Amino acid sequence: MPEEEVFLQGNEAVVEGALRAGCRFYAGYPICPSTGILETMVMRLPEVGGTVIQMEDEISSIAAVIGAAWGGAKAMTATSGPGFSLMQENLGYAVITETPCVIVDAQRSGPSTGQPTLPSHGDIMQARWGTHGSHSIIALAPSNVQECYDLTIEAFNLSEKYRTPVVLLSDGELAHMRERIVLKDLPIVNREEFPKGPVTFPLGEELGGVSPFPTFGRGHRTHVTGLTHTIVGYPSESIEVQTKLLTRLIGKISDNRKDICKYEVHNPKAEHLIVAYGIPARSAMELVTERADIGLFQPLTIWPFPSKAFRRAAEGKKSVLVVEMNEGHIFREVERHACRAGVEEIELCSKLGGGIPAPEEMLDCISAMEGE
């Protein structure tokens, strides 16, 4: 496909990324600031032969997406704050049924209704642990409109490769922001289809933890269930079966960090390191371009956390400052890895209230650290 230069809103860039990735089904319920994704999908998806459904709520939206994925489509939904809470149960259903799908959360300031349309990063831990039970999840966080496009494609690619739901954590600021971007011709990954012919059930363990996908209606006898199931899909109460299943589901993500995790490091030799993702990473870049003593570690993949890469970046640093638009969701993750890397000073620079941290506010946090 030819590359094109366009001027788009973050929400629109997510849609363009989804279409390039091959998304042909979208179900959603309007909620600001994610509504622009639904609106743009309504206009764009039918043009490429896809289907858009406005469902009665967010629970049914993600349910429709899971169904469409089993029907063979690349499928997506998008929501904000309260809607993401409603999706949590079915997010777990997608995890245990190993359904490839993408869920976009344009985060807004909460809890509950909170500040509709104002940005926050209060759902970072909800993306990780919002659904019940032991599991792994993949979550990505863009910081500009170009990354909204790039990481939506990446979200689809990872969901197809690992047969898992992937969460894209945008926010109210990014959703409504416009920038010029390039609609790049990026590589597209498609799920491996279960082979035709006599039904055999290869063990996930033998295939790096990921089994081929037995699409509905293509002659496979398949049982899709949220119950703990054996490799042939039948429910089981066995401790051994559950242990094997969870070990494989968690392992297929946690053991593949090297392939899954994307991050950026700026000013690697600086003595102070800022850790920031999403919009705050842009504020941090203002400082990084002006001061040689400040570096930046920006995880594009939030979950699984790029722990090895971060430890390498943190080694020998005088201090690590974690800047987040919440009360410190990845702070503890960073803290334990920074501790292991031998960093003594690790602080949180927290911005609540529905705004984004200005570079000056980060400098204040750095001064406060130095003053102690």
Partner 1 sequence: MVDTIEIRLSGFGGQGLIMASVVLARAASMYESKHVVQKDDKYKREESGLYVVQTQTYGSGVRGGASRAEVKISKKSINYPEITTPDVLVLMSEEAFQKYGSETKPSTLVLIDPDTVAGRPEGDYCEIPATVTANELGNKIVANMVMLGAVTAMTKVVHPDSLKSAMKDLLPSETLELNFKALEEGYDLGKSCGFEIKTDWG
List interacting residues with partner 1 (CB under 8 A): 3, 5, 7, 32, 116-118, 173, 176-180, 182, 279, 282-283, 285-286, 289, 356, 358-359
Residue whose C-alpha is closest to residue 122's, from 98, 106, 133, 135: 106
Q: Which of 8, 330 has the CB closer to partner 1?
A: 8
Residue among 145 and 322 whose Cβ is closer to partner 1? 145
Structure tokens that stand for 131 in this block: 């659904």
Identity of the amino acid at 156? F
At its nearest, how many Å lie between partner 1 and the CB of residue 46? 21
Minimum separation from the CB atom of position 274 to partner 1 (A): 13
Core vs surface per residue 113-138: b (16+ CB within 10 A) or e: eeebbbbbbbbbbbbbebbeeebbbb
Beta carbon nearer to partner 1, 9 or 97: 9
What long-range pairs does 334-343 form, CB within 8 A, spacing at least 24? 334/275, 334/310, 337/305, 337/307, 337/310, 337/311, 338/310, 338/311, 338/314, 340/311, 341/310, 341/311, 341/314, 341/315, 341/317, 342/315, 342/316, 343/273, 343/314, 343/317, 343/318, 343/319
Q: Where does 216-261 have alpha helices with state H?
A: 239-254, 257-260
Q: What type of residue sits at position 216?
A: F
Nearer to partner 1, 9 or 131 (CB): 9
Minimum separation from the CB atom of position 286 to partner 1 (A): 5
CB of 360 to partner 1, least distance (A): 8
Is the Cβ of residue 28 or residue 354 nearer to partner 1 in the bound state? 354
* Beta carbon of residue 113, minimum distance to partner 1 (angstroms, whole number): 10
The two beta strands, 272-275 and 319-324, are parallel
By beta-carbon proximity to partner 1, the closer residue of 5 and 240 is 5
Q: Between 352 and 358, whose beta carbon lies closer to partner 1? A: 358
Distance CA 78, CA 190 (A): 21
Q: Which residues contact 333 (CB under 8 A, 6 or more apart)?
A: 305, 307
Q: Measured from the CB of residue 139, what is the shortest distance to partner 1 in angstroms?
A: 22
